[in-house]
Amino acid sequence: MNFLHYQKGKLFAHQHSITELAQQYGTPLYVYSRDYIEQQWLEFDHALKGRKHLICYAIKANSNLAILNTLAKLGSGFDIVSQGELERVLKAGADPKKVVFSGVAKSEAEIERALEVGIKCFNVESEPELERIQSIAQRLNKIAPISLRVNPDVDAKTHPYISTGLRNNKFGISYQLARAVYQKARELSHIEIFGIDCHIGSQLTDISPFLDAADRILTLVNQLKNDGIIIKHIDFGGGLGVCYDNETPIKSSDLVNELIKKLAAYDCDDVEILFEPGRSIVANSGMLITRVEYVKHQDDNHFAIVDAGMNDLIRPALYEAWMRILPEQEDKPGQTIYPYSIVGPICESSDFLGKDRELAVEQGDLLVVCSAGAYGFTMASNYNSKPKVAEVLIDETSHRLVRKRETFEMLWQGETI
């Protein structure tokens, strides 16, 4: 998060004071850097210059309309997993012909809507799904473009909750069955085979699982060619890790260069390349600003009780994700530093944002949870009847509200007594 820095002891994002952002928009508050998002997407795109390609941003990471619109203007494609995400990208001005539809449980209504607007392709994750798409396409008299999401059974060496490429994961079609399913798809009247897709997990900081998966996928591409099935695009998925603490992430250019070498060896120079990055585009664009409501010391336990909780940012509670937490003002002379647990207002013992953080804080101080741009607001809830927080988009010189803070009345919209 190179746009986050201290000036005269006060924390700034680009040239914007964290204190002033909190005063204007309230807390808790999500803030995202548009400049950072554009930079990350363009680095991926430029790495593929000279090859037919499409970068499909995985909108589950952060689905704010302003961010989607920013990426659509750059020419981005989008990876979606629901009709709601489809409607979001259309509302944001995306080209439906640049949309790929993933997800293991596509409903009839979702498939029908995607065919109606003309998406690029379905990433099919099971034989029953393939049959459902065929049936709906036949009824609508449309040809459905498909790609099979193949599970390469590769260990991504990441947290088990975000691993997706092993045979015991729910995602994709078994590598051992994929060839037969492609042969079946070829015989279906309203199905057209376009590509092959794989995605092995998230927050990957080791390049070897990517390359292992690519080897398996490219071997299958050659086998399919021998069967007379020509693959027009290969989707290598997403999953590039980011730096939350001291990780050394894979550069998008390094990954692209290694995969292009493999493509040349497999005679795939004319195949379109797709990627589905999400976290790597937005994670370090965002922060969650929260205010200390109380400081509590009891025995050897020290708590900074803040106004943001697991309803706003569930990653630490869900899989003990570590995220850097910075004070809005640098340590004051004479303040005592304690190993604080940063905990929220939710009535759950798992409601924490960080543990054992060496800080000097007082009631009313602001804290900034870094690297909160991915899987933050998109996983937020109204648990404990908490309204969802506001979102703000900034660049070097300006800031604007891109989602209003929910009101209490919005909590019970649609309910009746």
Range scoring the smallest mean pLDDT among 161-175, 216-230, 368-382:
161-175
The predicted pLDDT at position 164 comes to 46
Read off the pLDDT band of 71 (50, 70, 90): very high
Cβ neighbours for 88, distance < 8 A, ≥ 6 positions apart: 59, 63, 65, 68
Mean of pLDDT values over 341-362: 95
234-264 pLDDT tens trace:
999 988 889 998 888 889 999 999 998 888 8
357 pLDDT more than 70: yes
Q: At what angle do helices 208-226 and 252-265 cross, to 10 degrees?
A: 30
Mean of pLDDT values over 391-399: 96
Read off the pLDDT band of 2 (50, 70, 90): confident
The predicted pLDDT at position 168 comes to 58
The predicted pLDDT at position 49 comes to 92
411 pLDDT more than 50: yes
290 pLDDT more than 70: yes
Percent of the chain topping pLDDT 70? 96
Task: Say which residue, 159 or 391, is predicted with more confidence.
Answer: 391
As to burial, measured by CB atoms within 10 angstroms (0-12 exposed, 13-18 middle, 19+ buried), residue 255 is buried
Q: How many of the other CB atoms lie within 10 Å of CB of 261? A: 11
Q: Pick 4-32+283-411's CATH classification: 2.40.37.10, 3.30.70.260, 2.40.50.100, 3.40.50.150.
A: 2.40.37.10
The chain-wide mean pLDDT, for the chain, equals 93
Q: Find the angle CA(288)-CA(291)-CA(296) to the nearest 5 degrees.
A: 125
165 pLDDT more than 90: no
Task: Specify whether the CB–CB gap between 166 and 155 falls below 8 A.
Answer: yes
Read off the pLDDT band of 201 (50, 70, 90): confident
The predicted pLDDT at position 332 comes to 73
127 pLDDT more than 70: yes
Catalytic residue numbers, as ranges: 347
The predicted pLDDT at position 206 comes to 86
| Partners of residue 29 on adjacent β-strands | 289, 390
284 pLDDT more than 50: yes
Mean of pLDDT values over 325-346: 91
Task: Specify whether the CB–CB gap between 313 and 288 falls below 8 A.
Answer: yes
The predicted pLDDT at position 200 comes to 84
4-33 pLDDT tens trace:
999 999 999 999 999 999 999 999 999 999
Q: Is 197 left (phi over 0), alpha (psi -120 to 50) or beta?
A: beta
Task: Specify whether the CB–CB gap between 187 and 225 falls below 8 A.
Answer: no
166 pLDDT more than 70: no
The predicted pLDDT at position 169 comes to 65
329 pLDDT more than 50: yes
Using alpha carbons, select from 98, 90, 87 the residue that is nearest to residue 53: 98
pTM listed for this prediction: 0.93
- Residue 314, CA distances (Å) to 16, 187, 240 in order: 26, 45, 20
149-162 pLDDT tens trace:
998 877 655 444 44
d(CA 172, CA 201) in angstroms, rounded, equals 12
Percent of the chain topping pLDDT 90? 81
**Residues making up the chain, counted from first to last:** 417
Paired tokens of 94: 């995306």
Give Rg (Cα) of the chain: 23
Q: Find the angle CA(365)-CA(370)-CA(376) to the nearest 5 degrees.
A: 105
Mean of pLDDT values over 295-305: 95
Specify the 3-state DSSP secondary structure of 129: helix
As to burial, measured by CB atoms within 10 angstroms (0-12 exposed, 13-18 middle, 19+ buried), residue 14 is middle
The predicted pLDDT at position 372 comes to 97
Could you state, in order of their start, the residue ranges of all structural domains in the chain?
A: 4-32+283-411, 34-282
d(CA 349, CA 310) in angstroms, rounded, equals 10
d(CA 180, CA 148) in angstroms, rounded, equals 11
What is the residue whose two structure tokens read 């940063």? 342
Q: Give me the CATH topology for the region 34-282.
A: TIM Barrel (3.20.20)
112 pLDDT more than 50: yes
42-52 pLDDT tens trace:
999 999 998 99
